[in-house]
Homo-oligomer: A and B are copies of this chain.
């Protein structure tokens, strides 16, 4: 039996909002260490991985490993019915065909229970190798979201160039071109660790989708290395993360 109580529905809302833009269905793997979800996006280009440790929950019990096939849009609908500061308890049996969500406000005059039907999903889990990245950037997540949005007005492709001097985002299209440069400032908003300078180009629409996780945290970590996918990581307090992976474009112009 799974029973997991979260003090605030808001955190779950933010997680589901971040996921539902990139995957429509996904399998939540529950074990006594916590919850995990890994999935390719709908067009099988990027990968998203959620990890949430059991100590993120006020109460957590998972007697045996169980996999919950979720329709993310339906889950988001149920969460719309809850107040952000409601307590939410997720529960499921050992062989579940539904997930039960129980919301409680401060006093007990109102209880709201929702049963969500589960899906049978076949999913291959990809092993994600640990990678040493040659460029690591920490920056405000809102700034990253804004840059991705601005770039997407100019082109489908966004080029990220990292060097010790700073990080440059560029896009080039019919309208004209855009260049935004960030450097390590005295305020410490942006930190850049670069072993080798690197320039890579990405499909902007995926970067934009990743930024749906912006409400989760004020800082985002971006890691790049030659010939491996970009990693964009949003921490979930001290208890986990959502990580997005996206391979760079192989651009003819670069060959």
Interface residues of A, Cβ cutoff 8 Å to B:
74, 77-78, 80-81, 98, 107-117, 143, 150, 153, 174-187, 189-190
Q: Which chain B residue shows the least CB distance to A178? A: B114
Tell me, rounded to whole Å, the shortest Cβ–Cβ distance linking A81 to chain B. Answer: 4
Which chain B residues lie closer than 8 Å to A114 at the CB level?
Answer: 176-179
- The reply to whether B175 and A109 form a contact with Cβ atoms under 8 Å apart is no
- The reply to whether B109 and A153 form a contact with Cβ atoms under 8 Å apart is no
**What is the interface of chain A mostly: helix, strand, loop, or mixed?**
mixed
Q: Which chain B residue shows the least CB distance to A114? A: B178
Tell me, rounded to whole Å, the shortest Cβ–Cβ distance linking A144 to chain B. Answer: 12
Checking B110, B117, B182 against A176 with a beta-carbon cut-off of 8 angstroms, the contacting residue is B117
Checking B111, B117, B153, B184 against A77 with a beta-carbon cut-off of 8 angstroms, the contacting residue is B153
- The reply to whether A81 and B111 form a contact with Cβ atoms under 8 Å apart is no
- The reply to whether A74 and B180 form a contact with Cβ atoms under 8 Å apart is no
Checking B117, B183, B184 against A175 with a beta-carbon cut-off of 8 angstroms, the contacting residue is B117
Checking B81, B110, B178 against A182 with a beta-carbon cut-off of 8 angstroms, the contacting residue is B110
Which chain B residues lie closer than 8 Å to A174 at the CB level?
Answer: 117
- The reply to whether A110 and B180 form a contact with Cβ atoms under 8 Å apart is yes
**For the complex, what is the distance from the CA of A128 to the CA of B74, rounded to whole Å?**
41
Checking B108, B115, B175 against A74 with a beta-carbon cut-off of 8 angstroms, the contacting residue is B175
- The reply to whether A178 and B109 form a contact with Cβ atoms under 8 Å apart is no
- The reply to whether A185 and B116 form a contact with Cβ atoms under 8 Å apart is no
- The reply to whether B176 and A109 form a contact with Cβ atoms under 8 Å apart is no
Q: Which chain B residue shows the least CB distance to A153? A: B77
- The reply to whether A150 and B81 form a contact with Cβ atoms under 8 Å apart is yes
- The reply to whether B176 and A74 form a contact with Cβ atoms under 8 Å apart is yes
State whether A81 and B115 are in contact (beta carbons under 8 Å apart), knowing that A109-B185, A110-B181, A185-B107 are contacts in the complex.
no
**For the complex, what is the distance from the CA of A177 to the CA of B116, rounded to whole Å?**
7
Q: Which chain B residue shows the least CB distance to A170? A: B113
Kindly list the 5 A-B residue pairs having the minimum CB-CB distance in the complex, ordered from nearest: A109-B185, A81-B150, A116-B176, A115-B176, A112-B180
Instruction: Give 5 A-B pairs besides A78-B153, A112-B150 with Cβ atoms closer than 8 angstroms.
Output: A74-B176, A107-B185, A109-B185, A112-B179, A112-B180
- The reply to whether A109 and B182 form a contact with Cβ atoms under 8 Å apart is yes
26 examples of A-B residue contacts, CB within 8 angstroms: A74-B175, A77-B175, A80-B150, A81-B150, A81-B178, A98-B176, A109-B182, A109-B184, A109-B185, A109-B186, A109-B187, A109-B190, A111-B180, A112-B150, A112-B179, A112-B180, A113-B179, A113-B180, A114-B177, A114-B179, A115-B177, A116-B175, A116-B176, A117-B174, A117-B175, A117-B176
